[in-house]
Amino acid sequence: MRIPGDKSISHRVVMLGAIANGTSVISGFLEAEDTRATVRAVRALGITIESDGAGGLSIHGRGRDGLCGPAAPLDLGNSGTGLRLLAGLLSGQPFDSTLLGDRSLSRRPMRRIAEPLRRMGAAVETAPEGTAPVAISGGRALVGIEHRLEVPSAQVKSCLLLAGLHARGRTSVAEAAPTRDHTERMLTGFGYAVERSPGMAAVTGGGELAARDVSVPGDLSSAAFFLAGACIAPRGRVRITGVGLNPTRDGVLRILERMGASVVLSNRRDSGGEPVADLEVAATRLRGVEIDGDLVALGIDEIPVLLLAAARADGTTVVRGAGELRVKETDRLAAMEEGLRRLGVQVETRPDGMIVHGSAAPLRAARVDSRGDHRIAMTFALAGLGADGPVEIEDCDNVATSFPGFASAVRALGLEIEESR
């Protein structure tokens, strides 16, 4: 199978294409609600983006200072990446802007970007709870800062690096555990110098970006459902072509291998500074493992489906240092705890993780609530592979935020799935 385009890279290519000089032609762009929200927001900032509706975009960049003030608040829907990265890009602009989102996004923490942006000299206000809407008053002169991330977050890092493009001097972000480095790689690809050393990335403001063509690889986070699914399905086997394998994202592969799966990589290549390969995995008896913070940061979005794999493994899996999962699209630890229990799995939760007591016994047919979170819904869809009857999942519309066509992809692989309204 092929998998839709990488969500993180798709957001970034629209933003960097917008402030580059010239036209960037993109293929493999993720056509999903989150990334379309970013396209709409960037269009509202005066950028012409032509789309063929099938992953092809032409972004007519207007240079570093070419954005125009939006006529209305920018609505990023469900997308934390869209909102946090744009907040960085807009903090050093001459115009005012307001960023908002849906109910889930309006509950997520924004002080983690507002505070360092203020230290750079930006005028950024959040709602009193430290959440969206995020209101930015333009016309402030930003200065570079040194910032150390308190919690590992690629969104915060990227927000500050993007603000740094419009700041006087150098903006550096230090991180204790590596988080995805797509922004650093893509800035370099667009010809912008990024200073990098282990645990640190920095930019100096005032440079220019040159338009370029980008082929977006398949999203490893979407592939992860099928990789884990193949491991737990009786006679499961899947081959996925053209998947992005950035080493700051590949925690899911490292964890599945530790659990005893053998993921075979072939046709390795580079696509615009991002490593890409075809992946193949087959059903295996998995074993329980310990997963700590550093590995969690490398596979943060894949922990839910790995918890499902752990439920079908021999022995106990312990996940620690995963407290950030509580502030994703929903509290993913709570959603997984509740859903796995309904499927008959023994779990214990901790503030920053979970203990799953795996078993070869089939999961129990049950009804679970995705809490409107796309990755929770897709995880429990795959639970159907290891259950003794149907798994019903409530509140699944948000699958379209990252993976429209998920149900057909699952069906094509032989899993029965029905959608109802």
Binding mask 233-272 for ligand S3P (x = CB under 6 A): ----------------------------------------
Binding mask 172-211 for ligand S3P (x = CB under 6 A): -------xx-------------------------------
**DSSP conformational letter for 344:** T
Binding mask 49-88 for ligand S3P (x = CB under 6 A): --------------------------------x-------
Residue 53 Cβ, how far from ligand S3P at the closest point, in Å?
A: 23
Q: Are 365 and 391 in contact (CB under 8 A)?
A: yes
Site for ligand S3P in 120-179 (CB under 6 A): 153-155, 158, 179
Q: What is the DSSP string of 376-408?
A: HHHHHHHHGGGBSS-EEEE--GGGGGT-TTHHH
Nearer to ligand S3P, 75 or 302 (CB): 302
Nearer to ligand S3P, 179 or 370 (CB): 179
Q: Are 345 and 316 in contact (CB under 8 A)?
A: no
Nearer to ligand S3P, 276 or 343 (CB): 276
Residue 12 Cβ, how far from ligand S3P at the closest point, in Å?
A: 7
Under the criterion CB under 6 A, does residue 345 sit at the interface with ligand S3P? no
Residue 234 Cβ, how far from ligand S3P at the closest point, in Å?
A: 31
Residue 130 Cβ, how far from ligand S3P at the closest point, in Å?
A: 16
User: Residue 250: phi, psi to the nearest 5?
Assistant: -95, 20
Under the criterion CB under 6 A, does residue 8 sit at the interface with ligand S3P? yes
Residue 420 Cβ, how far from ligand S3P at the closest point, in Å?
A: 27
335 CA to centre of own chain: 18
Under the criterion CB under 6 A, does residue 330 sit at the interface with ligand S3P? no
Sheet holding 264-271, edge to edge: 237-244, 274-282, 264-271
DSSP H or E stretch at residue 334: helix 332-342
Task: Write out the two tokens for 179.
Answer: 């988080």
Q: How far apart are CA 218 and CA 72, in angstroms?
A: 33
What angle, 0 to 180 degrees and rounded to 10, lies between the N-to-C axes of helices 33-44 and 80-91?
20
Cα Rg for the chain, rounded, in angstroms? Answer: 21
Task: Give the burial class of 315: count Cβ atoms within 10 A of its Cβ; 0-12 exposed, 13-18 middle, 19 or more buried.
Answer: middle
Q: How many CB atoms lie within 10 A of CB 202?
A: 20
Under the criterion CB under 6 A, does residue 382 sit at the interface with ligand S3P? no
Number of residues that bind ligand S3P (CB under 6 A): 11
Q: Are 387 and 365 in contact (CB under 8 A)?
A: yes
Residue from 75, 324, 369, 373 in contact with ligand S3P (CB under 6 A): 324
- By annotation, the residues acting in catalysis are 301
Nearer to ligand S3P, 180 or 312 (CB): 180
Residue 375 Cβ, how far from ligand S3P at the closest point, in Å?
A: 8
Nearer to ligand S3P, 60 or 254 (CB): 254
Give residue for tokens 């909102």.
83
Contacts of 187 (CB under 8 A, 6+ apart): 16, 161, 194, 203, 209
Residue 179 Cβ, how far from ligand S3P at the closest point, in Å?
A: 5
Residue from 15, 300, 345, 354 in contact with ligand S3P (CB under 6 A): 300
Give residue for tokens 């650093």.
184
Binding site for ligand S3P (CB under 6 A): 8, 81, 153-155, 158, 179-180, 300-301, 324
